[in-house]
Amino acid sequence: MRSIRFLLFMGTLLMLFPDSGSAQENPFKSVLQSFITTALENNPAIKEFQNRIKAAQEVPSQVSSLDDPILQFQLMNMPVDTFDLSQENMTQKLFSLSQKLPYPGKLGLKAEIAGKNIAITEQDLEEARLTITRDVKLAFYELCFVLEATNITKENKTLLEQFVVIAESKYSVGKGLQQDVLKAQVELSKIMERLIELQKLEGFEKAKLNSLMNLLPQEDLMIPHGIGKTDFNFTVEKLQAIAEKHRPLLSKILSLKERYGSSKKLAEKEYYPDFNVGLKYGQRDGTQMIDRPDFVSAFVGINIPIWYKTKQSRRVSETAYKVEMASETYNKAKNQIFLNLKKLVDKEQQGSRTLGLIEQGILPQARQSLESALAGYSVDKVDFLTLLDNQLTLFNWQIKYHRELTDYEKNLAVIEQSAGKNLF
């Protein structure tokens, strides 16, 4: 029985102090940053927006250029009885070249609108970067939790296997109950089933992380263990100020408002006519008796916006409403971001208190309770089911602690994304 008690004591020590041999600093932050860097370089969504920007950058030059000039050729006053080019004085081969000239300022406003579209697409890219960074962190932290839960579960599996051996040994010598053996075996089966579930979750989270980095889902990943609680020193007001300054979504809406403002100026320019200028050259064939000189003509034309009440005025009103709409869109988005930040900070405070309670109160108490049960069981003052219940209680609270720690870090990742800036 001494050897059995020693085995139980050593196994319990391993379970009570699982991190005693891992005092070295964990490099998981640098590994996480390398994953983020890879995702931001290779994720298809990022490349898509980069190509959108390149495409948008080709537009200002196009819209600020004049329309192509028009070259025309005509046969004028051709007699249909003979089709002779020299029969009539007014028969001529007419060449004309015309160019449309928009009212001054219109092309510049079109280029300005195209420039705003570039800025809007660039803000979309930055918003995508924030989203991908957040998603990488969420997948990474969840994977770290799964691996940590797997380690804790394996340690408890080893200890439960020792409990089964002890229960069977006591039962074989008539000092234990068969139900103790069965109960230990049932709990061991539950642990094994949980390990299978954790293995499935590990594969799923690795596939998600690989997908964000544009890698094959089955690509192997080396993930260090041991998430540490990140310090949080921000107030709600500070985060709201950061978001108002740095959140790409808000900058995008401001650029959109400026684009609508430029569109309104362009709409107002439509009250003024565009010009069409050109030259014509009429070549006439002469005869042996008659020398007919060629003709040269010039012309200037304008469009007359006589339907301005149903066209140009409506266009001005439309763009004016869009400017107001963008202002309200900005206020709505800002209010939603501010509200989300308030909720996220409240969640951080609650998570921090929960972690402190578990780490400083519940876990030490659970360990002491298990140590006391172990000591009592070794001298037959505590029954096996009480010992097993204390061990399972500690196991569940260890998992609960790492679940809360993971959710805490994931919440910080969402705070970063909402604020629009790397904070931790």
pLDDT digits (tens, 9 = 90+) for 134-168: 999 999 999 999 999 999 999 988 888 887 787 77
Q: CB of 45 within 8 A of CB of 128?
A: yes
Nearest to 361 by CA among 371, 372, 369, 349: 369
Q: How far is 266 from 247, CA to CA, in rounded Å? A: 29
Rounded to 5 degrees, φ, ψ at 351 are -65, -40
Q: Angle at CA 227, nearest 5°, toward 221 and 231?
A: 135
Greatest mean pLDDT range, 3-17, 25-39, 54-68, 210-224? 54-68
Q: Report d(CA 121, CA 47) in Å as an integer.
A: 12
State the pLDDT at residue 164. 78
Residue 381 or residue 18, greater confidence: 381
Q: Which amino acid is at 30?
A: S
Predicted confidence band of residue 18 (pLDDT cuts 50, 70, 90): very low
- Predicted confidence (pLDDT) per residue in 330-373, tens digit: 999 999 999 999 999 999 999 999 999 999 999 999 999 988 88
Confidence of residue 5 (pLDDT cuts 50, 70, 90): very low
Reduced to 3 states (helix: H, G, I; strand: E, B; else coil), residue 295 is: strand
Tokens 């089955």, located at residue: 218
**pLDDT over 90 (residue 80):** no
Q: Would strands 275-283 and 92-101 be described as parallel, antiparallel, or unpaired?
A: antiparallel
Q: Which two tokens stand for residue 141?
A: 């932290």
CA atoms within 13 A on the CB side of 231: 1
The answer to whether 401 and 363 are in contact (CB under 8 A) is: yes
Closest C-alpha among 231, 219, 233, 209 to residue 31: 209
Least confident of 6-10, 121-125, 231-235: 6-10
Q: Residue 399: is its pLDDT beyond 90?
A: yes
Contact 185, 164 (CB under 8 A): yes
User: Per residue in 41-67, pLDDT tens?
Assistant: 999 999 999 999 999 999 999 999 999
Domains of the chain: 2-66+102-271+308-419 (1.20.1600.10)
